[in-house]
Amino acid sequence: MRAVDLIQKKRDGLELSSEEIKWLIEGYVAGTVPDYQMSALAMAIYFKGMSTREISDLTMNMVASGDQIDLSAIPGIKVDKHSTGGVGDKVTLILAPLVASFEVPVAKMSGRGLGHTGGTLDKLESIKGYQIEVTQEDFIKQVQETGVAVIGQSDNLVKADKLLYALRDVTATVDIIPLIASSVMSKKIAAGADAILLDVTVGEGAFMKTVEEARVLAQTMVDLGKAVGRKTIAVLTNMSQPVGTSIGNRLEILEALEILQGKGREDVTEFICELAQIMLGLADVEKTVAEVRQHIENGAALKKFEEMVQAQGGDLEDLYRPANVSHKVDVLAERDGYIVGLPALEFGLFAMKLGAGRAVKTDELDYETGIVFHKKVGDAVEKDQPIATIYANENISENMLTNFQKNVKIDDVSVNTKEIIEIIS
């Protein structure tokens, strides 16, 4: 076989056979199919798409490109969760311990942030001592003993995705359904959980800009999960504004703690309890949202979170430490009215420029910086009321402030938002 023939085949809109996909993935991981040919193929897939069979072959060959985790030593139905990426997305930090507080084991491997999107690992690493590199044995032991672990993906898991994702990132081929679906599901399948909740983000701050596209991605991933015997449900969630009230690593840990203490914003708390209810259902634990919420109100979920942090070497005193920055700048409302838009992409990029995110993989993060929103879409504001506070370790120029303010959309008529748009199973 020759890669050039397979690129041409895809370029001309034809289907690649199972053998051809296997040959390409194996060759890519072995280094015999070079990056330049793989990027040409990714671009051909971008324009010509893939059939359901091709996506399934791609996914399973990616799974086979590295280790597969065996979680069978942990009793019970193990559930995992994955988000396709968002701004201010601290959901895992709350959801994982909340679900685990119902004795449902959560063994989760998370990723880092890139561009305007944040990553759970970076947030956890803002806690002094928190170890994300954990051996497979210790990972399993921690879930057996504590019921929950959130760690970094081992280097040997889905090697093909590591290479391919880095390549897609620099060749404008990330936002394409066959490649997102195979990337996400190969990691979830290899990570070994019995059941998977997929949070498919939709909107301006997400890869999927429309509900229609997100629905196709969600259904593709659900089908891939089910085909290999994993119970899989996808939830389309709104990413037109940042999740919750903060963007930035330490700031999001603090918001997660507030929610776990029952002091978070009502809408975010409700949203996370709804996701927890679905995740528990995947493990055959049927609870009402009110019952889920009780584990926030009675401190059970917070206790689980603290246990997880301690088990992974995190310092509990540091956990509660406020963000340490040299500049805190309030942004004031320019007029009376209602907040009707807080574009997630713009604020994600703003936070990235403050050091809270990475423009390229090698960028160092400033864990302390970011944004805290005092108002969200749908809230009433009065002129000169603080809408947000910028946490920075540098001077915020007039230009930056104007840019921030310009992105806060205020109107006379309020709008409704809902976090969960649709459930696909």
- Positions marked catalytic: 82, 161, 168, 183, 187
Nearer to ligand URA, 21 or 259 (CB): 21
Give me the residue whose beta carbon is nearest to ligand URA. 183
In this chain, which of 37, 56, 61, 84 binds ligand URA, going by CB under 6 A? 84
Contact 242, 387 (CB under 8 A): no
For residues 181 and 217, the answer to whether their CB atoms sit within 8 Å is: yes
Minimum distance from residue 287 beta carbon to ligand URA (Å): 29
Q: Which of 180, 224, 256, 276 lies at the binding interface for ligand URA (CB under 6 A)?
A: 180
- C-alpha count within 13 angstroms, C-beta hemisphere, residue 379: 19
Phi, psi (deg, nearest 5) at residue 80 = -130, 165
Residue 186 found at the interface with ligand URA (CB under 6 A): no
Taking only Cα atoms into account, the Rg of the chain, rounded to an integer number of angstroms, comes to 21
β-bridge pairing 231-238 and 195-202: parallel
- Identify which range of 176-184, 249-257, 270-278, 330-338 contacts ligand URA by CB under 6 A: 176-184
| Residue 85 binding ligand URA, by CB under 6 A | yes
Query: Between residues 206 and 388, which has the closer beta carbon with respect to ligand URA?
Result: 206
Asked if 241 touches ligand URA (CB under 6 A), the answer is no
CB neighbour list of residue 399: distance below 8 Å, 6 or more residues apart:
none
State the sign of the Cα–Cα–Cα–Cα dihedral 387, 393, 399, 404: negative
The answer for residues whose C-beta is within 8 angstroms of residue 319's C-beta and 6 or more apart is 127, 253, 257, 306, 309
CB of 389 to ligand URA, least distance (A): 30
Exactly one of 56, 110, 183, 241 binds ligand URA (CB under 6 A); which one?
183
CB of 184 to ligand URA, least distance (A): 5
CA distances from 226 to 58, 61, 197, 220, 221 (A): 16, 17, 12, 10, 9
For ligand URA, the binding residues in 139-168 under the rule CB under 6 A are 165
- Least separation in angstroms between CB 129 and ligand URA: 27
Q: Whole-number minimum distance, CB 255 to ligand URA, in Å? A: 22
Applying CB under 6 A, which residues contact ligand URA? 84-85, 165, 174, 179-180, 183-184
